[in-house]
Amino acid sequence: MKDTKRWLPGAIISIGLIAVFLYFVDFGEMVDAIRTANYTMLGIAFALGFLWIAIRAQVWRTLLRNRASYGAVFWTVGEGYFLNNFLPFRLGELGRAFLLSRKSDMKFMEILPTIVIERVVDLGFTAVVLLASLPFVVKAEGAERAGTIVGVVVVLGLTLMYILARSNKWALDIFHKLSARWPVLQRVGGNFLESFFAGLSVLTDGWLFLRFVFWMALNYGLAIVSYYFIIRAFFPEATMVWAMFGLGAAALGNAIPALPGGVGTLEGAFGGALILLTGNESVSFATALSVRLYNYINSTVIGGIGLVREGQTLSGIYEQLKNLRARQTEEVNP
């Protein structure tokens, strides 16, 4: 109950979006769409989902500068997505840093900034994918301009991160001066910023950054192909542009506060994108449910196996993460 203010808005959004879909969907038509879907294409998409996680592990390992083994990173990525599906407040991200710190010689505060950087770049790729498809979807005057604006914002964001990476001593000095009155905040915040800037150094290492961008681009390309097969299973006339638009919408929808796993927001964002393209609410919702299953299958299989191999349980991880968050809060507010 102490966290009501944190989880209630997300719960309201999720339940509201689910209610809207349930109101407009014809369940007979939805069930018929699921029954007549092309299961060969769905099978291909679901198989690609496992390859997607394998490449995602390489994305993160590149940011980690290969300081952890690929096997440890692979299982931890699956575990993180598995935890996000069932735990509130996106604890899977903290869980990734926590679990990998127990499998490698890296510390929690060294790992966490790499996840932050990964998510920032994720947002940039999401914007690029969504807005690259937008002019073909809406065919509205000014859509290309909107895509250009967002592209410029993404470039400016990366430029700012590059400047911080090159001028980290200057930024740290400013932080220490401003936080001088709060020694605990200065110590905890300083440790985090030092680790964060160390992670940002990927931007100043040209070859490392190019490898990171390559793996991230490959990861998004594979996601687009997977979404294309899922959509084609229900809408044979679908194109790659549909997949790009759906993926971009789903990724942005996943950033909205919601119940664990983005329940409701994923269906609302992805389903809404398909409704805009097709005008068919029922089949669009059936497709969104398939995307939901796609996300659950690969993360549950890989994450579940990873946790079992390490003798962990979902409830046990949740308790450990709550204790970790409590300790961090006590350090900042003793």
Instruction: List, for residues 110-159, the tens digit of each pLDDT value.
Output: 888 888 888 888 888 888 888 788 777 766 445 556 556 666 776 777 77
Nearest CA among 258, 308, 282 for reference residue 10: 258
The pLDDT of residue 332: 47
Which contiguous run of DSSP H or E holds residue 187? helix 183-200
Residue 4 lies in a domain: no
For residue 303, the model assigns a pLDDT of 92
Q: Is residue 133 part of a domain?
A: yes
Q: What is the C-alpha to C-alpha distance for residues 81 and 63, in angstroms, rounded to an integer?
A: 18
Residue 14 has a pLDDT of 76
**1 within domain boundaries:** no
Query: Is residue 3 in a domain?
Result: no
Q: Compute the Cα dihedral for 265, 266, 267, 272 and give only its sign.
A: positive
| Residue 248 falls inside a structural domain | yes
Give tens-digit pLDDT for 200-233.
777 777 788 889 989 999 999 999 999 999 999 9
Question: In angstroms, what CA-CA distances link 11 with 104, 202, 217?
Answer: 36, 37, 33
pLDDT at 322: 72
pLDDT for position 76:
95
CA-CA distance, 204 to 11, in Å (whole number)?
41
Give how many domains the chain has, as a whole number. Answer: 1
Residue 52 within a domain:
yes
Which residues of the chain are modeled with pLDDT < 50?
140-141, 332
Per the listing, tokens 């940002």 go with 200
Q: Which residues partner with 259 through β-bridges?
A: 263
- Measured CA to CA, the distance from residue 320 to residue 173 in angstroms comes to 34
Q: What is the pLDDT of residue 217?
A: 93
- Give me the domain span that covers residue 85: 9-332
Residue 297 in domain: yes
Q: Which residues pair with 263 in a beta bridge?
A: 259
What are residue 276's phi and psi, to 5 degrees?
-60, -35
pLDDT of residue 32: 95
Quote the pLDDT of residue 18.
Answer: 81
* DSSP output for 20-88: HHHHH--HHHHHHHHHTS-HHHHHHHHHHHHHHHHHHHHHHHHHTTT-S-HHHHHHHHHHHHHHHHHSS
- Does residue 61 lie in a domain region? yes
Residue 7, pLDDT score: 61
Tokens of 260: 């664990």
Q: How far is CA 208 from the centre of its chain?
A: 22
Q: What is the DSSP string of 272-311?
A: HHHHHHH--HHHHHHHHHHHHHHHHHHHHHHHHHHHHHTT
- The residues near 101 (Cβ < 8 Å, ≥ 6 apart) are 107, 108, 110, 111
